[in-house]
Amino acid sequence: MENKKQLKGIIIPLSLITIFIIIFSTIYYFTNNTELSNISGEEKQIQAGEIDTGNIIENTDSSDPINVQDKISRIKKKLALKGLIIKGDIHLKNKEYTIALSKYLQILKDIPDDKSTLLKLGNTYFYLKKYPQAYKYYAQIKNYKRLDMDRAILSLIYSRMLSEKNIAYIKSEIDTFPLHEDQIYYYKTSLFCIEDFSLCKQDFQDYFIQKTGSDTENIEGENNTQSGALVEDPYIFEELENIKLALENYTNFQIDDISYKNALISGAFFKNRLYPIAIHLSKNILGEKDDYGPIIKIVAKSHYELGNYSEAKKYLVQYNSLGNKEADVSYFLGAVYERLHEYVLSSVHLKKAIELGYNNSLDVRRRMVYNYERLGETEKVLQALQDIVENNKETLTPQDLSLAIYHHIINEKQSLAKEFSSFGIEKFPEEAIFLGYMGWIQLQETETEEYLVLAEENLKKGLELNKKNPMIYLIMGKLEQAKGDNKKAFIYFKKTVSLDKGGDFGKMAGEELDKLKEMEKGKLELK
């Protein structure tokens, strides 16, 4: 069975002080990007409103001085690029950032000043922790109504070392954004904490007194004459509220050790995602108390969020050296080692996270799959994927299950692949990919008439759900070859290439097209 051979070739006891710090900490979940280029379910996502097709024909803001012909020209260009835009948005939604980035950069070449695309590029670079590139695109759309101003300012702050010169530049840039006066005050005063922490604290305290009209005691604990706590102020946004709460706890804290009190402020900046400021203040605290665990974790996590993985590793190792055994730290170390391409060490710490009871075992196993793939350990990849499916059936995503089936098929583990495909058809009845996988497996099992009919039924059902799934068209082409109809096979392979140009399935289909062309050429020569 020559065709069957071809098919086989396809293809992360508490002290009172610690409790206060935890108030200002956040929990991070790190997910990997899958490499399987699969556009399954895009029509359903569009219909559900998960993909904003309104952006495809979005014009400029009404205030933009652009004539009608230019607007029409832009709309035409965006409509012509509709498929590329939708694919980019799906990849972005699925956290496949590198793939999404390539799509958006292609779009920008044709429409260089498109605000929607500039925003998506900024967001994608932000998620990739490439902050200078993110700000480069955000800076071009400062008045765009869809722009998350806080994210833009954060990318600006993350992009530069907080020297005196850079702080002055950042403050001047902040003035160019259409921000509320409270936001401008918050960012500029927060940056002032780098220059003079004591005056910064007092500045914030005076600000809250002015906003609420309440008397409050001096935050250094001297001349305490407080007549009541700061009252609720509906006009103070969340980040300022976090600073206000930290200052209240600072004032009311019964321990005189200034390092512990300052830790509350550092924790607030960490919660507010002002990681460079949290790092600066935390390092000052560690200079006085170098074994303060919660602060070491804040520095480590802050460095991770800034993409400083070597620094994150240094502080996590320091934390573990204190004799701590915590599931979240083991997971976090696994994530850091993965980013540093130290996949063996990453897997060691991820396994330990599971042993210590890390509460998101699904994400841990996803990372382990990625590590094993990088190490070329196929059997461990398959085992980790099997663990994902069998231990996380309630929280499993279509992408998780699809990846598990794909790897089992290409490694000739047909029994489990078929079992997982049946589960996928039942759990995700609107996802065409699982019907496609079932058809693929049935075609590989045997080429008897009965199995060919079953394979064709599943493949056609899949196409009814999603007419743009390249994998199904590829297998339909193989099915027609098995039936002896190379003309129909040629059509399906051509369709696959058009839907997945540059992708794995598109490349496979291209190879099959070349073989068919060679066969036809040979027949003509014989004549």
Mean pLDDT by 10 residues, the chain (527 residues): 46 35 33 35 42 48 58 72 87 91 94 94 97 98 96 97 93 96 96 94 93 54 37 65 93 82 95 97 95 96 96 96 92 96 97 93 93 96 96 91 96 95 96 96 81 92 94 95 93 94 89 90 61
- Output the CA angle 60-183-92, nearest 5 degrees: 50
Q: What is the pLDDT of residue 39?
A: 34
Closest CA to 270 of 244, 249, 309, 301: 301
CB 257 within 8 A of CB 227: no
Q: What is the pLDDT of residue 522?
A: 67
Name residues whose C-beta falls within 8 Å of residue 473's C-beta, 6 or more positions apart in sequence.
Answer: 463, 492, 493, 495, 496, 499, 505, 509
Residue 221, Ramachandran bin (φ over 0: left; ψ between -120 and 50: alpha; else beta):
left
Q: What is the pLDDT of residue 20?
A: 36
Name residues whose C-beta falls within 8 Å of residue 163's C-beta, 6 or more positions apart in sequence.
Answer: none
- Output the CA angle 61-45-387, nearest 5 degrees: 130
Burial group, residue 223, by CB count within 10 angstroms (0-12, 13-18, 19+)? exposed
Burial group, residue 355, by CB count within 10 angstroms (0-12, 13-18, 19+)? exposed
Name residues whose C-beta falls within 8 Å of residue 505's C-beta, 6 or more positions apart in sequence.
Answer: 37, 470, 471, 473, 474, 496, 499
Closest CA to 402 of 47, 30, 34, 19: 34
Q: What is the pLDDT of residue 123?
A: 98
Q: What is the pLDDT of residue 234?
A: 46
Closest CA to 71 of 105, 107, 106, 115: 115
Note the pTM of the prediction, 2 decimals.
0.78
Q: What is the pLDDT of residue 18?
A: 40
Structural domain boundaries of the chain? Answer: 40-129
Residue type present at position 413: K
Q: What is the pLDDT of residue 80?
A: 75
CB 191 within 8 A of CB 277: yes
Q: What is the pLDDT of residue 65?
A: 53
Instruction: Return the sign of the alpha-carbon dihedral for residues 59, 62, 63, 68.
Output: positive
Residue 350, Ramachandran bin (φ over 0: left; ψ between -120 and 50: alpha; else beta):
alpha
CB atoms within 10 A of CB 148: 15
Distance of alpha carbon 501 from alpha carbon 495, whole angstroms: 10
Distance of alpha carbon 6 from alpha carbon 8, whole angstroms: 5
CB 441 within 8 A of CB 420: no
